[in-house]
Amino acid sequence: MLVSKQQALDYHKGPRPGKIEITPTKPCRTQRDLSMAYTPGVAEPCLAIHSNPHDAFKYTGRGNLVAVVSNGTAVLGLGDIGALAGKPVMEGKAVLFKRFADVNVFDIEVNTHNPEEIIKLCQLLEPTFGGINLEDIKAPDCFHIEEALRKTMKIPVFHDDQHGTAIITGAALLNALELAGKDIRKVRVVFNGAGAAGIATAEHYVRLGVKRENIILCDTKGVVYKGRKEGMNPYKERFAQDTEMRTLANAMAGADVFVGLSVKDAVTQEMVRSMAPDPIVFAMANPDPEITYDDARACRGDVIMATGRTDYPNQVNNVLGFPFIFRGALDVRATAINEEMKLAATRALANLAKEDVPDSVCRAYGVERLQFGRDYLIPKPFDPRVLMWEASAVAEAAMRSGVAQEPVDLDSYRAQLEKRLGKKYEVSHTMIHKAQANPKHVVFPEGDNEKILRACHALVEEKIAQPILLGDANKIHSRAQELGVSLASMKIVDPATSDRREIYVLELFRLRQRHGVTLHEAETLINNRNVFGSMMVHMGDADALVSGVTQHFPDTIRPALQIIRMREGLHRVSGCYVVVTHKGEVFFLADASVNIEPTAEDLVEIALCTAHMARRFDIVPRVAMLSFSSFGSVDHPICTKVRKAVELLKYADPTLIVDGEITADEALSPEIIEQQYPFSSLKGGANVLIFPDLASANIATKLLARIGGGENIGPILMGMSRPVHVLQRTATVEEIVGVAAIAVVDAQENDTYAHPHVHVSVEPEVVGED
């Protein structure tokens, strides 16, 4: 996926520089907390660890802390850029460790080219960490450093550049050979690239069953053969063959497998044609492969292919390896990551790919079905099952091979891993991946706004939506050029010159003629881009509308309510936020954006719409109707209103898990509900919180984000007949992308999903109609 220079710099720059921070795991709000966290209380764990060093894993974070160590001599495709310049990569590694396996990381950039100094540094740091991940250190230094550390340290040491690629391509190899019907002991394998990854992968393949004599290793000098002097080292010498072959083209003729860890365009179509039937091609040069997927398929329809790219099938991404390998190693206090553990990781990934893929994973990637085959050799990185399968396999291998200091019960351990993952991934990505399955046309009235342009660029790049930008074309092009944003695949419509303008004017007049709008006034109103955009959605020229970053909420929503209108059967639109806490808990809060003082009947509609929204995020709603009292403890009109809403809700939808009125703290505490209110249906606590008025909902939502560290998605406008979403003026580019994805999914489902029906006695009223 293409990312512009400015996009990358902006991502790393703000709102806080860098990608990681430290979050305390214990409270430090009172004097007592302070005395526990530091002196004098901290002396007790110090003395305990002095008496028993293994207690460091009990009283400190060492057991879940990994050092990512680099000297920046082989950074991605950038080469030797130095320790400091490599820091963004190491921080990125920390993000992946945390995101995928909940492993904490300190990145350590070492300003030296001397391998012995890196060895000494890691040895001195052993009391601090539970493991060492070596990163972006050039060959052959990386081999020497890892070998020395593995011999002298009692914690896991792992060079991901070597072993990560080996483990993941090993899984792809096992499955590709099975599909091709080939025996691993008989296949001939050609490697192009004899650096850290190439040599380690070749060694791993030997352990998987490939015969060493059936491997041909190539580098920039050609085939590595016996007797060659130029560019050799002891690690290459292990694969030197007694052969007349001298070029990559020679080596690939008749080969069963090609593994590329080299450079773009190193392989031609003629080379692929020369390979054996059902050739296996792993072209993993970064960012561009040795041969593209399209070129390889064009010349060999029977090719089984993997690359390092996201836009082709079978992406080999090291994030499928290192987070989960360390997770398993740390959780059994392994003293090393040995070959048995690496082989276990490979086989776990290979076996998981053959399992039935859950619908939730397919939805996450925007496809109807993922099934083991030539285009699905290895699991997807965001498949939550990878954590359970790979980490548990690594832990089991550590126990069987004798390097585990704290063995675990595997069934209990798998349950523990599931709890680590939580719901955060599903919430953050469900809508985006659903949108990618069938992108829709989304109109953006603020088409010349910087954040809108940047967000639309991301929507196109990630194939989430097909943006329509409203505004002066020259101004939009000029602004896009300033931002370095490509307008390719975006449609620009100027309301002043559009060939649909007169049609919209007449239809607007028809819609509003009995609400005081004359034909002349309709001709003026159509110049308002929110009006024009709403007409596009109304007339079917756009599927959804997203607006609001430069306007007040009423100015955005009013035209939509007047033109697009509410869904049949509803009397109010409402707004909800999805809040994901730092613990990965998911809550839906409403109404936080529209109805200032909702009635009991309004609360029923709000609750039903919000519950429906939770289901669309694949979450079973448990609805708490909130107040400042619980189950009649206070007699006040607000409490009475909420109690009435609960009665109406249970009548409107008897299947809905709902209760109240109840205070927020009690609604979120399963223990309190079980002990004090055993009659309540909110077993397990609530995840949908319906507030008695807009003030309380809006304040709570924003406090959760600012003080509580929650991540808000929204506001999500509910109840419109066609998708309309109103942005906050403070919305970030990422938030705009998220709201647009929701709008696309709204459009996809607009004619298919079952909308909530409300059976309450109220007079029809359109909010903001005039």
Instruction: Classify strands 65-70 and 131-134 as parallel, antiparallel or unpaired.
Output: parallel
- DSSP H or E segment with residue 511: helix 501-512
Phi-psi region of 410 (alpha: psi -120 to 50; beta: other; left: phi over 0): alpha
Q: What count of Cα atoms within 13 Å lies in the side-chain half-sphere of residue 687?
A: 22
How far is CA 181 from its chain centroid?
35
Per annotation, catalytic residue among 13, 58, 87, 93: 93
In whole angstroms, what is the distance from residue 421 CA to residue 758 CA? 36
Phi-psi region of 222 (alpha: psi -120 to 50; beta: other; left: phi over 0): left
How many residues are recorded in the chain?
770
- Determine how many CB atoms are found less than 10 A away from the CB of residue 266: 19
Task: Report H helices in 528-599.
Answer: 529-538, 553-563
- Report DSSP letters for 188-211, one per residue: -EEEE--SHHHHHHHHHHHHHT--
In whole angstroms, what is the distance from residue 271 CA to residue 248 CA? 8
Cα of first residue to Cα of last residue in the chain, in angstroms, is: 46
Question: Is the Cβ–Cβ distance between 571 and 599 less than 8 Å?
Answer: no
Residues 6 or more apart whose CB falls under 8 angstroms from that of 545 comprise 442, 443, 444, 445, 530, 533, 534, 536, 537, 560, 564, 723, 724, 725, 743
Question: Is the Cβ–Cβ distance between 332 and 399 less than 8 Å?
Answer: yes
Question: Is the Cβ–Cβ distance between 396 and 344 less than 8 Å?
Answer: yes
* Residue with token string 């050039």: 138
Instruction: Classify strands 222-223 and 215-219 as parallel, antiparallel or unpaired.
Output: antiparallel
Amino acid at 488: A
In whole angstroms, what is the distance from residue 189 CA to residue 239 CA? 12
Known catalytic residue: 93?
yes
582 is written with which tokens?
């730092």
315 is written with which tokens?
């992406």
Q: By C-alpha distance, which of 229, 222, 167 is closest to 194?
A: 222
Query: Is 55 in a helix, a strand, or coil?
Result: helix
- DSSP H or E segment with residue 99: helix 87-101
Please state, in angstroms and as integers, the Cα–Cα distance from residue 28 to each residue in 21, 45, 104, 209, following that order.
Answer: 17, 17, 20, 54
In whole angstroms, what is the distance from residue 140 CA to residue 688 CA? 56
413 is written with which tokens?
């351990």
Question: Is the Cβ–Cβ distance between 382 and 336 less than 8 Å?
Answer: no
Q: Using the 8-state DSSP alphabet, how is residue 658 labeled? A: E
122 is written with which tokens?
């890691």
Task: Report H helices in 332-423.
Answer: 339-353, 359-364, 385-386, 392-401, 410-421
* Residue with token string 């008496």: 51
Question: Is the Cβ–Cβ distance between 112 and 71 less than 8 Å?
Answer: yes
Per annotation, catalytic residue among 38, 59, 651, 753: 38
Question: Is the Cβ–Cβ distance between 119 and 145 less than 8 Å?
Answer: yes
**Catalytic positions, please?**
38, 93
